Chains A and B, each alone.
Chain A
Amino acid sequence: DIQMTQSPSSLSASVGDRVTITCRTSQGITDELAWYQQKPGTAPKRLIYAASTLQTGVPPRFSGSGSGTEFTLTISSLQPEDFATYYCLQHNDYPWTFGQGTKVEIK
Chain B
Amino acid sequence: QVQLQQWGAGLLKPSETLSLTCAVYGGSLTGYYWTWIRQPPGKGLEWIGEINYSGKTKYNPSLKSRVTISVDTSQNQFSLSLNSVTAADTAVYYCARISRSVPYLWGQGTLVTVSS
Binding site for B on A (CB under 8 A): 1, 32, 34, 36, 42-44, 46, 49-50, 53, 55, 87, 89, 91, 94-101
Contact = CB atoms under 8 A, between A and B. Distances in A.
A71 to B, nearest CB: 13
- Which one of A1, A91, A101 has the greatest number of beta carbons of chain B within 10 Å? A91
Contact of A100 (B44, B62, B107, B108): B44
Contacts of B109: 42-43
A95 B45 contact: no
B60 interface: yes
B102 A49 contact: yes
Interface in B3-17: none
In which size bucket is the chain B interface?
20 to 34
B66 interface: no
Interface of B: 44-47, 58-62, 94, 96, 100-104, 106-109
B16 to A, nearest CB: 24
B32 to A, nearest CB: 15
Contacts of A34: 102-103
A31 to B, nearest CB: 10
Nearest to A1: B61
Contact of A98 (B44, B61, B94): B44
A57 B61 CA distance: 35
30 contacts: A1-B61, A32-B101, A34-B102, A34-B103, A36-B45, A42-B109, A43-B94, A43-B107, A43-B108, A43-B109, A44-B94, A46-B104, A49-B100, A50-B100, A53-B100, A55-B104, A87-B44, A89-B47, A94-B58, A95-B58, A95-B60, A95-B61, A96-B47, A97-B47, A98-B44, A98-B45, A98-B47, A99-B44, A101-B44, A101-B45
